[in-house]
A = this chain, B = another copy of it.
Amino acid sequence: MSLVRVDAPQPAATDAKPALFAALSARFGDRFSTSASLRAQHANTLTWIPCQPPDAVIFAETTEEVVAVVALCADARIPVIAFGTGTSLEGHVNAPFGGVCIDLSRMNRILAVHEADLDCVVEAGVTRKQLNEHLRDRGLFFPVDPGADASLGGMAATRASGTNAVRYGTMRDNVLALTAVLADGRVIATGTRARKSAAGYDLTRLLIGSEGTLGIITSLTLKLYGVPDTILSAVCPFASIEGACLAVIAALQIGLPLARIELADAVQIRACNGYSHLTLPEQPTLFLEFHGTEASAREQVASFAEIAASEGGGDFQWAERQEDRTKLWQARHDAYWAARGLQPGAELLSTDVCVPISALAACVGETREDIDRLGLLAPIVGHVGDGNFHVMPLFDPNDPEERRKVQGFLDRLIERALRFDGTCSGEHGVGQGKIGYLAAEHGLGVEVMVAIKKALDPLNILNPGKIFRYHHDG
């Protein structure tokens, strides 16, 4: 295997693109477009990474259409970038080498719900909110919740996670099977509806988190859960971030089945109060949710209240009614927008790392010191039950010195996470933004990933320039 090098995919013939576009236009009519505004909407929108629009956008409606596009693009040596809702944060949908963006948002059919088996089959463009609205009357829900109303295909492709992961797992844990279109246009179905299998390599998990570089996911079989009898939500302020982290560690150690346990630091609480019209004390705060029967949820609350008190936690503020609960979690989910509101006009970088839970207080503490030393405004929020936290520095994008400062902060954040035996990304993925850190985390493992990429996409047409940049030598 060759070393990982920076390179473009195999160049297309000069006349390949016009011929390809003519063919696509003939087949897809007005579902094929090269309009500048549409192309820009399909490039990166929520990161500090510059937009790199594709050359064209196609709205696909079936797996067969995705096959047709991929096969034509493969013939022409033109990249293909899958697009769900565009809410990824590391440049995943950018088109650094141009190419055709396949927008899957119209593949939004819920194909089956198997209530007895607690699973469902959906097309890749179904969003998590759409699915949960569909399930509501059946007393079931899909738990993975990254905040944004992302498409389930995109969530699988980026191995998304979120506030419920401590109890219900991430996309890695909640996808039973996938249908995906490979780089040569073949279609694979990676699993069955069996809850477990020991039959061959785990292609489902290989595709989850592959960010559209190994295949384009067109449908998914997902695990579902019964809506718990009782859901209790609360916020609890702490005297220090360390105290809040220690309370979480203690709760996990005694096996409390916390459904959600989210940290927001004082800066983030100030932002949330402003954006979501709350009046929370501006202190490090845990957002909590307990699921269970009435009795077991109350038992969990009592156990956690005792732990919190011993770590400097203040009074719980309960959200008793469904509407209060929704408001509370909407405020948590709007952390990104609230943070942006702290300094209108500023650019915001949302990044994340994940460390072993015992290192969380130290890692967050050092990170806060670094932020203060740099004089940055940078709220911290975290899925602390997983050891996963987000930092969102605000900066002036036109000030090269500020950009440099933020880049240095980011480098140190990741160096720190790796030093604590953590990962450079808990849930945002690699995309373009974290390519540079992958070798530090995985060493030779990156070469194994590249070998797999080359084996399955020798022309490097599937979302090139993401996860790693690799040299096409075939």
Interface residues, chain A, CB within 8 Å of chain B? Answer: 114-119, 158-161, 165, 169-170, 172-173, 182, 186-203, 205-206, 208-210, 214, 225-226, 228, 249, 252-255, 257, 292-293, 295-296, 299, 354-358, 386-388, 417-418, 421-430, 434, 437-438, 441-446, 448-449, 451-452, 454-456, 467-468
Q: Is there contact, CB below 8 Å, between A426 and B198?
A: yes
14 A–B contact pairs at CB < 8 A? Answer: A116-B358, A158-B198, A160-B198, A189-B445, A192-B423, A198-B209, A199-B425, A200-B468, A201-B206, A201-B209, A201-B449, A202-B202, A228-B255, A292-B296
Instruction: Please state the number of chain copies in the assembly.
Output: 2
Q: Is there contact, CB below 8 Å, between B356 and A188?
A: no
Determine the distance from Cα of A441 to Cα of B188 in the docked complex, in whole angstroms: 11
A205 interface neighbour in B193, B195, B202, B446, Cβ under 8 Å:
B202
Determine the distance from Cα of A319 to Cα of B210 in the docked complex, in whole angstroms: 47
A206 interface neighbour in B205, B293, B446, Cβ under 8 Å:
B205
Q: Is there contact, CB below 8 Å, between A199 and B441?
A: yes
Q: Is there contact, CB below 8 Å, between A448 and B203?
A: yes
Interface SS of chain A? loop
A449 contacts across to B, CB distance below 8 A: 200-201, 203
Q: Is there contact, CB below 8 Å, between A194 and B429?
A: no
Closest B residue, CB atoms, query A246: B116
A172 interface neighbour in B196, B209, B225, B428, Cβ under 8 Å:
B196
Q: Is there contact, CB below 8 Å, between B354 and A118?
A: no
Determine the distance from Cα of A429 to Cα of B295 in the docked complex, in whole angstroms: 41
A354 contacts across to B, CB distance below 8 A: 194-197
A114 interface neighbour in B160, B255, B295, B356, Cβ under 8 Å:
B356
Q: Is there contact, CB below 8 Å, between B255 and A225?
A: yes
Determine the distance from Cα of A355 to Cα of B253 in the docked complex, in whole angstroms: 34
Q: How far is the CB of A138 from chain B (nearest CB, A)?
A: 11
Of A170, A195, A202, A454, the most chain B CB neighbours within 10 A belong to A195
Q: Is there contact, CB below 8 Å, between A356 and B194?
A: yes
A387 contacts across to B, CB distance below 8 A: 194-195
The 5 closest A-B pairs by CB, nearest first: A205-B205, A455-B455, A116-B358, A197-B423, A194-B354
Given the interface contacts A249-B116, A293-B299, does A196 sit within 8 Å of B170 by beta carbon? yes
Q: Is there contact, CB below 8 Å, between B446 and A200?
A: yes
Determine the distance from Cα of A194 to Cα of B197 in the docked complex, in whole angstroms: 25
Q: How far is the CB of A371 from chain B (nearest CB, A)?
A: 21
A356 contacts across to B, CB distance below 8 A: 114, 116-117, 119, 193-195
Q: Is there contact, CB below 8 Å, between A425 and B197?
A: yes
Q: Is there contact, CB below 8 Å, between A451 and B455?
A: yes
A430 interface neighbour in B161, B199, B421, B422, Cβ under 8 Å:
B199
Determine the distance from Cα of A249 to Cα of B115 in the docked complex, in whole angstroms: 10
Q: How far is the CB of A298 from chain B (nearest CB, A)?
A: 10
Given the interface contacts A296-B295, A445-B188, does A426 sit within 8 Å of B194 by beta carbon? yes
Given the interface contacts A188-B443, A203-B448, A448-B182, does A198 sit within 8 Å of B425 by beta carbon? yes
A448 contacts across to B, CB distance below 8 A: 182, 188, 201, 203, 456
Q: How far is the CB of A148 from chain B (nearest CB, A)?
A: 15
Closest B residue, CB atoms, query A467: B200
Q: How far is the CB of A235 from chain B (nearest CB, A)?
A: 23
Determine the distance from Cα of A173 to Cα of B175 in the docked complex, in whole angstroms: 13
Closest B residue, CB atoms, query A291: B255
Q: How far is the CB of A140 from chain B (nearest CB, A)?
A: 9
Given the interface contacts A422-B194, A443-B188, does A434 sit within 8 Å of B358 by beta carbon? no
